[in-house]
Amino acid sequence: MSVYEPGELIYEGKAKKLFSIPGQPDLLFQEYKDSLTAFNAQKKGSFEEKGALNREICALLFDELERNSVLTHRIQEIPPNAIVTRKLKMVKLELVVRNILAGSTAKKFGFEEGTPLDAPLVEFYYKDDALADPFVSDEQAIMLKTARDRAELDALRAFGLKINAVLVPYLLKAGIRLIDFKVEVGYDKDGVLRLADEISPDTCRLWDAKTGEKMDKDRFRRDLGGIAEAYRGVRDRLRQAGGK
């Protein structure tokens, strides 16, 4: 039974609504929406239960991350489609980690999609919708004051790599290859770095380990159809693979 009730709507994003919680100034009530967007919100869609699926998939991934000592913003899951989190001071960067080249970086350097990398690659993107989240170098990230110095960027990189090292084998047990993903991070009131936002088929590329079939938002981006079935497939496989 939840003791948390949403108060005022303080922000509505592309995938979630954020509410304050009366009497809890350090917490947020985050509600996953059924809508989804791509190409910086130029393409819009939705499907029933999408919010609930992403909430549950993210919960299962957070469970495994927390078992492996990765700190998250999570306080309490509120099924079907909400979560209570700590309110963090967000880092204004998106961290992208890649195991296999696909999407923007493959295109930029002329690689065929599906090219494996010798080692995981971490990239930073400046979180700014008006600028369409541009890639930034370390120097640019510091110039933009999204990070204090190189040491902080190195800590963010290490955090992204740790998340990757936990999720790759976990997803593989469920028959899913983690191609790449995006995470957002922030600092709690004690200055501790925590994983924020969500990890879901909206924010990852997930390929069936046997067939290579896409089980993520690329089905929507590329009009491949079967998006609800794909997200449900990820949820069902993670459930079956078991939490432990």
Residues 130 and 146: beta-carbon distance below 8 Å = no
Q: Using CB atoms within 10 A of its CB, is residue 61 exposed (0-12), middle (13-18) or buried (19+)?
A: buried
> Segment 30-69, which members bind ligand UDP (CB under 6 A)?
none
Q: Judged by CB, which is closer to ligand ADP: 71, or 209? A: 71
Residue 26 corresponds to which amino acid?
A: D
90 scored as a contact of ligand ADP (CB under 6 A): yes
Number of chain residues interacting with ligand UDP (CB under 6 A): 13
Q: Judged by CB, which is closer to ligand UDP: 70, or 204? A: 204
CA distance 105 to 17: 30
> Segment 160-189, which members bind ligand ADP (CB under 6 A)?
184, 186
Question: Considering only 8-16, 75-83, 154-162, 172-180, which stretch makes contact with ligand ADP by CB under 6 A?
Answer: 8-16
14 scored as a contact of ligand ADP (CB under 6 A): yes
Q: How far apart are CB 94 and ligand UDP at their closest, in Å? A: 6
> Segment 133-152, which members bind ligand UDP (CB under 6 A)?
133
96 scored as a contact of ligand UDP (CB under 6 A): yes
159 scored as a contact of ligand UDP (CB under 6 A): no
Residues 154 and 162: beta-carbon distance below 8 Å = no
Residues that bind ligand ADP (CB under 6 A): 13-16, 18, 28, 73, 85-88, 90, 184, 186, 196-197
